[in-house]
Chains A and B, each alone.
Chain A
Amino acid sequence: AQSVTQLDSQVPVFEEAPVELRCNYSSSVSVYLFWYVQYPNQGLQLLLKYLSGSTLVKGINGFEAEFNKSQTSFHLRKPSVHISDTAEYFCAVSGGTSYDKVIFGPGTSLSVIP
């Protein structure tokens, strides 16, 4: 079965500082990887996804993520965060045994400190 690990449950960071949210996955087959964001009291919004090709994926709001097959990672980065980036971030996987659905990681709560 596929699974997703997000090692950091909470990440506080000062405004305008860079941030990296870590994601590792396990799967015996090729997968497709996603990052979703959940702003307070809102639903889940797709930030970016990796399907194939270039391992560096750019998403909305200045976020990017890099797929690393050897390390089974898909870390999310932003060079300079804003207060408005305060949210819950979920890494997710689909494909292989979860062909038509996404499996979510436990989430990382990003708090941007002014």
Chain B
Amino acid sequence: EPEVTQTPSHQVTQMGQEVILRCVPISNHLYFYWYRQILGQKVEFLVSFYNNEISEKSEIFDDQFSVERPDGSNFTLKIRSTKLEDSAMYFCASSEQIVPGNTIYFGEGSWLTVV
């Protein structure tokens, strides 16, 4: 079964450093998302992306964050200058189309630890 893949699975970085989390969505999907889950808390929406632009973003997704689809297969999340509170599991997701109730498929997550 096709799946969303994410790299790295775990990254430790120093505060203030830039981090790029990478994702390969399912190949025929057109809509891409990033979510995050701080340890012990719920999964929160960060951003959705379609047709090479952000379609929606949450309050969490401030100027420190950016997303990019640099080629036909990858979808990246960049955190420009990491803070301790950015430590979380980051999930990439994709869906084939935006219709009500469409299934969003999630990757296994990238665990980011900021020290």
Contacts and interface: CB of A to CB of B under 8 A. Distances in A.
Interface stretch (B14-22, B65-73, B106-114): B106-114
Given A43-B107, A100-B56, A100-B98, A90 B42 contact: yes
B45 A46 contact: no
A71 to B, nearest CB: 20
B85 to A, nearest CB: 18
Interface in A88-104: 90, 94-95, 98-104
Interface string A31-65: 01010100000111110010100000000000000
Interface residues of A, number: 23
B100 A99 contact: yes
Contacts of B42: 90, 104-107
A100 B101 contact: no
Interface of A: 32, 34, 36, 42-46, 49, 51, 90, 94-95, 98-107
B43 A90 contact: yes
A46 to B, nearest CB: 6
Interface of B: 4, 31, 33, 35, 41-45, 48, 55-56, 91, 93, 95, 98, 100-109
Chain A interface, >50% SS class: strand
B101 A94 contact: yes
A32 B48 CA distance: 18
A101 B48 contact: yes
A94 B44 contact: no
Given A100-B56, A104-B42, A104-B43, A44 B101 contact: no
Contacts of B33: 101
Given A101-B45, A101-B56, A104-B44, A43 B106 contact: yes
Nearest to B41: A106
Contacts of A99: 98, 100
B49 to A, nearest CB: 10
22 contacts: A43-B4, A43-B106, A43-B107, A44-B43, A45-B106, A46-B105, A49-B103, A90-B42, A94-B102, A95-B100, A95-B101, A100-B31, A100-B55, A100-B95, A100-B98, A101-B48, A104-B35, A104-B44, A105-B42, A106-B41, A107-B42, A107-B43
